[in-house]
Amino acid sequence: MEKSSNSTTLGRTKSDQLLETLAAVFKSPTSQSDLAPGTSDSGGTLSRKSSRRFVVGASPARSSGGGSRNAHIRKARSAQMKLDLEELSSGAALSRASSASLGFSFSFTGFTVPPDEIADSKLFSDDDIPEDIEAGICRPKFQAEPTLPIYLKFREVSYKVVIKGMTSSEERDILNGISGDVSPGEVVALMGPSGSGKTTLLNILGGRLTHSAVAGSVTYNDQPYSKFLKSRIGFVTQDDVLFPHLTVKETLTYAALLRLPMTLTKQQKEKRALDVIYELGLDRCQDTMIGGSFVRGVSGGERKRVCIGNEIIINPSLLFLDEPTSGLDSTTALRTVQTLQDIAEAGKTVLTTIHQPSSRLFHKFDKLIVLGKGSLLYFGKASEATDYFSTIGCSPLIAMNPAEFLLDLANGNLNDISVPPELEDRVQMENSETETRNGKPPPEVVHEYLVEAYELRLSENENKLMDPLPLDEEPKLKVLSSKRQWGASWWQQYCILFIRGIKERRYDYFSSLRITQVLSTAIILGLLWWQSDSKTSRGRQDQAGLLFFIAVFWGFFPVFTAIFTFPQERAMLSKERAADMYRLSAYFLARTTSDLPLDLILPVLFILVVYFMAGLRLSAGPFFLSMLTVFLCIVAAQGLGLAIGATLMDLKRATTLASVTVMTFMLAGGFFVERVPVFISWIRYLSFNYHTYKLLLKVQYQDMVPPLKGIQTDNGSREVGALVAMIFGYRLLAYLSLRRMKLHC
């Protein structure tokens, strides 16, 4: 009785302290109508949600603004708090709340709070649904949306590559008979040292590597890979492939507009992008540029979360990640893996490669695949990995991170690890030269032993380890469709990519360096040809040199600008085409046309400066015709640069070829040499410099007497037709070259 009395007194004391603290904060009147859903009026029990509101309401507001709506919300919370206080004032409610806050189970008048209810009534919990405190809105978890469950199975997956040398070729094994399975709701880690085949296996399982050298079977719900799965698979590459000049919000919004199904409206897709931003904690940097090597932007952890958001925005059934924690600090890496856990808990299948995780990260994985030199060393539950290796005689001799222990074994390093008796006997029987200085077996022997040990375990427990999961017919039929599912029509894809292209490249085109380059060249030309005389033959000959330089400059400049287009965007093109974000034709047309408005602004400034400073024909007709001629030259030269870049896809080789080509076109442009030998005279007709120069001469001097030497008195339709043919011909060659590259088309 005395013990019970002490317990009662203790409970009342704590409860009184709680009442006094809360009463000091809230003194406004309350009404029963303000009772929020989720609070219990009978029994006086505080649920997890009501407990969370109880504490949140007691904290001061984070923002002084918010208007009348926030004031109304705060008033409602205050009223809710008073109701909770009234509940606590009753005996049973007071005893239950105090016992829950203390974490004990007390008995008052024969009533006992069960332990599970005590745990459920804790004030703070990691499992609570995130709330928008300022708006008073419970925001549901985005990953909790239903999705098609996909069971991934892979059996005896092998991959070989042929390395060609100077005199002979060598076949090298990258993967050797890898088997396993991943179920929805699981986070599976792929571990192994560098060069063990982790990324290759991930690419094969994700459908990114479908080479004839791949052997074995990979099934999704017992069905082979199909194009339908492109819209159900998210793949986060190791390198953060993002546009540096787009903001976080723009990046995810364009991904949503291109990848989400056409059944959703534009507003719904934009809302989905915002949901992903808030869920990944990117709301504070949503208007910040991604950044790159020379552009300041978001941090490395935020960049990685943007890459993850790009994939989870489609609510994928399968999510593959290639070293998502590389380059991140331990806290950011832990937060990233926690996000993967939340994604998997919603019924999604998550498979990630990981490089030297911390001990906290290691214990968050459900299953583990350990690779060493392309061979499977372990597949099973992550929590049982160290126990398995202990059974074969490999145990850590000192306390160490389980991930470090496994990586040491995969590398064949037995320092601070016990040597199995079988391995000691094998080494002793062999030549003593195979032993290292510290008496440990060499890595090759350790690797061979680990592979044999796992194969023995697999043969003994084959039915248990690789037991096929029973599947209904419905999940199998859903992945049989071979039809692609585009998120937007062709025209919508073109419009989205056109706007994205302008936003991304406007900073490069209007950089201070480029503007200075063009304007300074124009001013120098204007000063050298200041108010040149076109009435005399000598003056016209001088102006002809100026017109030829204009044709060469605006032929040379666009070529070496466009030549970098596809080689630099190859990684982005491969990534987005592999996910079926858009058709290649829509991308190509949007990419080439979005450059035109930007490419034509600087030439206008150039012509305005040079034309009037040099004293060329001061009338509207010749001025606009000269500008149109320069535009045709720019677009034709740009097409040549696109064709060379798309054909070679190597900047060094493309630059070399472009230099030789442009130099040849310049020499054959009709200014340096008038009488070209017949067997090589055909080159001038392929030169856009030649046709541009002839057009400029005709525009300036066609009606003058006497005419300039070598100028024919026609309307220039032949030159215009040649330039137009180059505009379309070079671009067609570039498009066919991209098709030939087979960038996951």
Residue 141 has pLDDT above 90, yes or no: no
Q: Which of 77, 72, 70, 100 is nearest to 22 (CA)?
A: 77
pLDDT per residue as tens digits for the range 236-256: 998 889 999 999 999 999 999
The CA distance from 676 to 329, in Å, is 66
pLDDT of residue 720: 93
Q: Mind listing the pLDDT tens digit for each residue in 546-587? A: 999 999 999 998 999 899 999 989 999 999 998 889 999 999
Residue % of the chain over a pLDDT of 90: 43
| Domain-embedded: residue 289 | no
Categorize the per-residue pLDDT at 93 as very low, low, confident or very high, splitting at 50, 70 and 90.
Answer: very low
* pLDDT for residue 381 is more than 90: yes
- Residues 582, 507, single domain; the answer is yes
Q: Of 411, 438, 463, at which residue does a domain stop?
A: 463
Q: Which of 438, 463, 488 is a domain's end point? A: 463
* Contact (Cβ atoms closer than 8 angstroms) between residue 665 and residue 688: yes
Which of 258-272, 318-332, 459-473 bottoms out in mean pLDDT, i.e. has the lowest?
Answer: 459-473
* Average pLDDT score over residue span 135-151: 62
Instruction: Calculate mean pLDDT across residues 156-180.
Output: 87
Is 88 a residue whose pLDDT tops 60? no
Alpha carbon distances (Å) from 219 to 125, 157, 417, 476: 38, 11, 38, 10
What pLDDT is recorded for position 111?
38
User: Do 454 and 383 sit in the same domain of this protein?
Assistant: yes
Q: Are residues 541 and 642 in the same domain?
A: yes
Q: Which two tokens stand for residue 492?
A: 């919508």
Q: Residue 509 domain-assigned?
A: yes
Q: Which is higher by pLDDT, 21 or 306?
A: 306
What is the pLDDT, as a whole number, of residue 60? 37
**Both tokens assigned to 124:** 């703070």
**pLDDT, tens digit, for every residue of 481-507?**
667 788 999 999 999 999 999 999 888
pLDDT at 51 over 70: no
Rounded Cα distance, 420 and 449, in Å: 9
How sure is the predictor about 52, in pLDDT bands with cuts at 50, 70 and 90? Answer: very low
pLDDT band at 197 (very low <50, low <70, confident <90, very high): very high
- DSSP letter at 169 equals E
Please, is 521 exposed, middle or buried when counting C-beta atoms within 10 Å of its C-beta (0-12, 13-18, 19+)? Answer: middle
Do 652 and 517 fall within a single domain? Answer: yes
What's the mean pLDDT in 198-202? 94
Q: How far apart are CA 628 and CA 709, in angstroms?
A: 24
What is the rounded CA–CA span in Å between residue 621 and residue 103? 89
Q: How many CB atoms lie within 10 A of CB 2?
A: 6
Whether 522 and 658 share a structural domain: yes
User: What mean pLDDT comes out for the span 205-220?
Assistant: 87
pLDDT band at 106 (very low <50, low <70, confident <90, very high): very low
pLDDT at 489: 94
228 falls within a domain:
yes
Arithmetic mean of pLDDT over the chain? 78
Mean pLDDT in residue range 404-431: 81
In this predicted model, which residue has the larger pLDDT, 630 or 97? 630
Q: How many CA atoms lie within 13 A of 24 on its CB side?
A: 6
470 located within any domain: no
> In 10 A of CB 730, how many CB atoms?
23
Residue 186 CA to residue 152 CA, distance in Å, equals: 11
Handedness of CA 336, 341, 346, 351 (dihedral sign): positive
Is 722 part of any domain? yes
Show the beta-strand stretches assigned E in 116-184.
Answer: 131-132, 137-138, 152-164, 169-182
Q: Which pLDDT tens digit goes with each residue over 583-606?
A: 999 999 999 999 888 888 899 999
Long-range contacts of 678-685 (CB under 8 A, 24+ apart): 685/722
What pLDDT is recorded for position 428?
64
- Judge residue 541's burial from the number of C-beta atoms within 10 Å of its C-beta, 0-12 exposed, 13-18 middle, 19 or more buried: exposed
CA atoms within 13 A on the CB side of 608: 8
Question: Taking 90 as the threshold, does the pLDDT of residue 133 lie above it?
Answer: no
Cβ-proximal residues to 655 (8 Å cutoff; 6+ apart), any chain: 560, 563
The answer to whether residue 85 sits within a structural domain is no
Give 3-state DSSP helix, strand, coil % of the chain, rounded to 5: 55, 10, 35
Over 90: is that where the pLDDT of 527 sits?
A: yes
Identify whether 14 is part of a domain: no
State which of 410, 435, 463 marks the end of a domain. 463
Do 520 and 656 belong to one domain? yes
Distance separating alpha carbons of residues 702 and 716, to the nearest angstrom: 10
Encode pLDDT of 334-376 as tens digits: 888 988 998 898 889 999 999 888 898 999 999 999 999 999 9
Q: Are 681 and 539 found together in one domain? A: yes
Residue 125: pLDDT band by 50, 70, 90 thresholds?
Answer: very low
Domain that holds residue 347: 152-232+316-463
Structural domains of the chain, count: 2
Tell me the pLDDT band of 142, cut-offs 50, 70 and 90.
low
| CATH number of the domain bearing residue 186 | 3.40.50.300
Q: Are residues 454 and 517 in the same domain?
A: no
Provide mean pLDDT across the span 93-115.
39
Contact 178, 458 (CB under 8 A): no
Question: Which range (221-235, 366-380, 459-473, 505-519) has the least confidence?
Answer: 459-473
Q: In whole angstroms, what is the distance from residue 174 CA to residue 362 CA?
A: 25
Query: Does one domain contain both 459 and 516?
Result: no
Q: Count of CB atoms within 10 A of residue 325's CB?
A: 25
Please, what is the Cα angle at 593 between 588 and 597, to 5 degrees? Answer: 155
Is the residue at 39 inside a domain?
no
Task: Say whether both 604 and 703 belong to one domain.
Answer: yes
- Decide if pLDDT at 31 tops 50: no
Closest CA to 402 of 59, 394, 347: 394
- Rounded average pLDDT over 181-193: 93
**Mean pLDDT for the stretch of residues 672-691:** 86
pLDDT digits (tens, 9 = 90+) for 697-731: 888 887 665 556 556 666 788 999 999 999 999 99
pLDDT digits (tens, 9 = 90+) for 617-669: 888 888 999 999 999 999 999 999 999 999 999 889 999 999 999 999 998 88
Closest CA to 259 of 310, 321, 208, 205: 310
- From the CB of residue 244, how many other CB atoms can be counted at a distance below 10 Å? 15
Sign of the torsion angle spanned by Cα atoms 381, 386, 387, 389: positive
Q: Are residues 211 and 359 in the same domain?
A: yes
Do 531 and 631 have their domain in common?
yes
The reply to whether omega before 244 is within 30° of 0 (cis) is no
**pLDDT(62) > 70:** no
At a CB cut-off of 8 Å and minimum separation 6, what does 39 contact? Answer: 46, 47, 50, 53, 80, 83, 84
Does the pLDDT of residue 84 top 60, yes or no? no
